[in-house]
Amino acid sequence: MPPKTPLLDAINTPKELRKLEDVQLPQLARELRDEMIDIVSLTGGHLGAGLGVVELTIALHKVFDTPNDRLIFDVGHQAYPHKILTGRRSRMRTQRQGGGLSGFTKRKESEYDPFGAGHSSTSISAGLGMAVARDQLGGSNKIISVIGDGAMSAGMAYEAMNNAGAMDSRMIVILNDNDMSIAPPVGAMASYFARLSSGGTYLYLRDIAKQLAKILPQKWEERARRVEEHTRTLWAGGTFFEELGFYYVGPIDGHNFEHLMPVLRNIRDAEQGPILLHVRTQKGKGYAHAEKSADKFHGVSRFNVVTGQQEKSTARSYTSVFADQMIKEADKDKRITAITAAMPDGTGLKSFAKKFPDRCFDVGIAEQHAVTFAAGQAADGLKPFVVIYSTFLQRAYDQVVHDVAIQNLPVRFAIDRAGLVGADGPTHAGSFDLAFLSNLPNVVVMAASDEVELARMVVTSAGHDAGPSAFRYPRGSGDGLIIPDQPKALKIGKGRVLKEGSKVVLLSLGGRLEVALAAAGKLDGFGLSTTVVDARFAKPLDTQLITQLARHHEVMLTLEEGAIGGFGSQVLNFLAHEGLLDNKTSGGLKVRPMALPDEYIDHDTPEIMYQKAGLDVDAILRTVFTALGREITEASNHLDLA
């Protein structure tokens, strides 16, 4: 038998896909899956989720008229097959690299990405908003939101469903169930019932029954409703979604086109309010190493396709330093607990959970609940650590303010992925925590400059019972420093001087300390004697040290891996109120805060991102010389004394 003609090579957009016969789709799925594995092996990124939705993605683009019909992927982890099919295949090997494609859906990248997604559980809300816009503007297109069962652990998804059900909006939600097993196993009868219950005849008869029920006695209406619920729940388990106002269909096999295609066509053509289609898939489907992996190759670095072996850094990560110190502190204090919002692996808590299973709590994608849950623990004597990415802590800000800070409860926030994070781009950048935490009364805010400092901050936070505390640390590996067996706690609000000078002071908070030291060496070479300080604390400030530095230096730069409004703003506010910015014989202290610019920085290597942000050595030199009214000539890169 001659080999089959490749199909994927002929598909540039879903328009070509829609010309295929249904019997050709399994071949396309195999080719698409192989292409995706090859791509991610070279670029790294999210693999398992995309492998699980290959058939579903093909079916959706074939049945629906995208981009006119809006296809919204939640989070974006599973959107790689979608990108390949929507004109971006040739650029997929640039994803997560500077100038290349985003690892998530992105509006400015393609008309097939109607909504950007980096955080979970937003797709139903966005879809409902688009459905309202369509109806207000007289459109007739379909709105389809694809959301995973993990994302359904977030309250936002149910808020949106409750709203959509009450409005009876015409929209479709695809529940991609690949892990939680929230329904009985898929079988032929379940798939047959899903096809039947999504068909026009069934819906027509159901509507007739509803109309008859209105003129029959109430007990008959109630009896009819119970019969239908019992019948459909027997096969599907969808009563919960019905109570939210959605017409439930499923579950069906998300890898079987014979099940997918007729059901999708039925719900596309249904003149119905909100419909939820429950699809069962297998994360990592079609790649043996992903299927066997505990996390199904959810997020991977570059890997060998044959062996499945991923590239790994030999240096120790900040996340692992934190996790190890947390275990040591929990060994000493039984009141210590750890709380994560669906990120036990990413935050390093997997080892903590293994040793202290009764003291580690994964609450699902529910950051708001995580913070108030911790506040409740702290109110009754425990010492909870909320271990969370900076970008996800944003989702629980009101709880940080209202439930923790106002009540001055000793909740500890371990903030991973602080600063710019490289390939994941602006949706995952930890840009804002310094600003929004430093503005809150009662909160101690720390930032680690290296691994040893991080370990000491874990100890400090564990011992701080006077109120809330937070410490932040970057993504990636440290400098390989050896951490003492028993790191000492820091004195609250006290920084450290690493290098003494007399003219310029670089006041660094967090991960820019090494850059500050490198810049100081060059400044010394220009005859500008430079002091370097690791501030350690954004709040409370080391006011005694800052006062001394202000009185004995001509130029002060603050450095931070955070947005405007954070550490530098706190320092400026203090200096202004103390009169330390007033004119002196030297002409006045020249203060220049250096923070992330007021813009979102696209994905690239962290080094290039910080260069774009103006937080590298050259930017420090330019800032100092400009403050002094001098320049570095472009030709010689030397101080222009003219």
Question: How many domains are contained in the chain?
Answer: 3
Q: Is residue 104, in this structure, part of any structural domain at all?
A: yes
Instruction: Show which of 474, 506, 526 is a domain's final residue.
Output: 474
Binned at pLDDT 50, 70 and 90, residue 585 comes out as very low
Q: 532 versus 181: which is more confidently predicted?
A: 532
Q: Are residues 375 and 407 both part of a single domain?
A: yes
Distance, CA of 382 to CA of 110 (rounded, Å): 49
Q: Which residues contact 35 (CB under 8 A, 6 or more apart)?
A: 8, 84, 89
What tens digit of pLDDT does each residue of 72-117 get? 999 878 899 999 999 999 998 888 888 888 888 888 999 999 998 8
Q: What is the mean pLDDT of residues 570-596?
A: 84
Residue 489 inside a domain? The answer is no
Rounded to whole angstroms, what are the CA distances from 478 to 447, 499, 521? 14, 21, 21
pLDDT in tens, 128-140: 999 999 999 999 9
Lowest mean pLDDT among 430-434, 469-473, 475-479: 475-479
With the CA atoms of 221, 226, 203 and 237 taken in that order, what torsion angle do they form, in degrees rounded to the nearest 10? 160
**Pair (286, 332) in one structural domain:** no
Q: How far apart are CA 244 and CA 130, in angstroms?
A: 19
| 79 within a domain of the structure (yes/no) | yes
Average pLDDT over residues 242-263: 91
Same domain, yes or no, for 461 and 502? no
Higher pLDDT, 268 or 152: 268
Predicted pLDDT at 422: 85
308 or 589, higher pLDDT? 589
Provide the domain limits for residue 237.
8-290
Q: What is the pLDDT of residues 295-337, one digit of tens each?
A: 666 767 777 777 777 877 667 899 999 999 999 999 999 999 9
Beta strands across the sheet bearing 275-280: 70-73, 143-148, 172-177, 275-280, 247-253
* Contact criterion met (CB below 8 Å) for 430 and 391: yes
Higher pLDDT, 236 or 582: 582
| The pLDDT value given to residue 199 | 67
Q: What is the pLDDT of residue 207?
A: 64
Tokens of residue 378, six digits: 């702290």
- Residues 459 and 520 placed together within one structural domain of the fold: no
Q: Percent of the chain beyond pLDDT 90?
A: 64
Close Cβ partners of 397 (under 8 Å, ≥ 6 residues apart): 436
Average pLDDT, the chain: 87
Question: 534 and 452, same structural domain?
Answer: no
DSSP 3-state of 473: strand
The per-residue pLDDT for range 217-250, each reduced to its tens digit, is 665 555 555 555 544 544 445 678 888 889 999 8
Q: Answer yes or no: are the C-beta atoms of 395 and 119 closer than 8 Å.
A: yes
- What is residue 632's predicted lDDT score, i.e. its pLDDT? 67
Rounded to the nearest 5 percent, the helix, strand and coil shares of the chain are: 45, 15, 40
Kindly state the helix (H) or strand (E) to which residue 214 belongs, with its residue range: helix 200-215
The answer to whether residues 52 and 187 belong to one domain is yes
- Burial class of 428 by CB neighbour count within 10 A (0 to 12, 13 to 18, 19+): buried
This prediction's pTM: 0.85
Choose one of 474, 504, 529: the last residue of a domain. 474
Query: What is the domain-level CATH number for residue 158?
Result: 3.40.50.970
Question: Are 441 and 513 in a shared domain?
Answer: no
The dihedral built from the CA positions of residue 559, 564, 570 and 575, taken in this order, carries a sign that is: positive
Q: What is the pLDDT of residue 640?
A: 46
Are 463 and 590 in the same domain? Answer: no
Q: Would you say residue 466 has pLDDT above 80?
A: yes
Q: Identify whether residues 334 and 260 lie together within a single domain.
A: no
Higher pLDDT, 571 or 479: 571
Q: Is 296 contained in some domain? A: no
Q: What is the mean pLDDT of residues 50-58?
A: 93
Q: What is the pLDDT of residue 103?
A: 81
Q: Both 436 and 528 in a single domain?
A: no
Asked which of 24-33, 188-197, 442-451 is least confident by mean pLDDT, the reply is 188-197
Summarize pLDDT for 387-443 with one digit per residue, the tens: 999 999 999 999 999 999 999 999 999 999 999 998 888 888 899 999 999 999 999
Residue 206, pLDDT score: 62
- How many angstroms separate the Cα of 307 from the Cα of each of 290, 292, 346? 11, 12, 23
> What is residue 586's predicted lDDT score, i.e. its pLDDT?
43
The helix (H) or strand (E) run that includes residue 59 is helix 54-63
Average pLDDT score over residue span 244-269: 93
Determine how many CB atoms are found less than 10 A away from the CB of residue 198: 26
pLDDT at 236: 47
CATH of the domain at 592: 3.40.50.920
Query: Is residue 148 pLDDT above 50, yes or no?
Result: yes
* Residue 483 belongs to a domain: no
Residue ranges of alpha helices (H) inside 296-359 are 318-332, 349-355
pLDDT at 269 over 70: yes
Assign 87 to helix, strand or coil.
helix
Cβ neighbourhood burial of 21 (10 Å; 0-12, 13-18, 19+): exposed
* Residues 521 and 630 grouped into a single domain: yes
Do 252 and 205 belong together in one domain? yes
Residue 641 above 70 pLDDT? no
Instruction: Give the confidence band of 185 by pLDDT, cuts at 50, 70, 90.
Output: very low
The residues that are catalytic are: 283, 367, 395
Domain membership flag for residue 376: yes
- Asked, for residue 3, whether it belongs to a domain, the answer is no
**DSSP E strands, 395-458:** 412-418, 444-447
Question: Would you say residue 203 has pLDDT above 80?
Answer: no
- Is residue 124 situated within a structural domain? yes
The first and second tokens of residue 213, run together, are 């029920």
CB 392 within 8 A of CB 341: yes
Look at residue 358 and tell me whether its pLDDT is greater than 60.
yes
pLDDT (tens digit per residue) in 10-46? 999 999 999 999 999 999 999 999 998 998 888 887 8
Q: Mean pLDDT lowest for which of 170-179, 324-333, 487-496, 570-579? A: 170-179
Query: How many angstroms separate the CA atoms of 247 and 243, rounded?
Result: 9
pLDDT computed for residue 309 by the predictor? 78
The band of 594, judged by pLDDT with boundaries at 50, 70 and 90, is very high
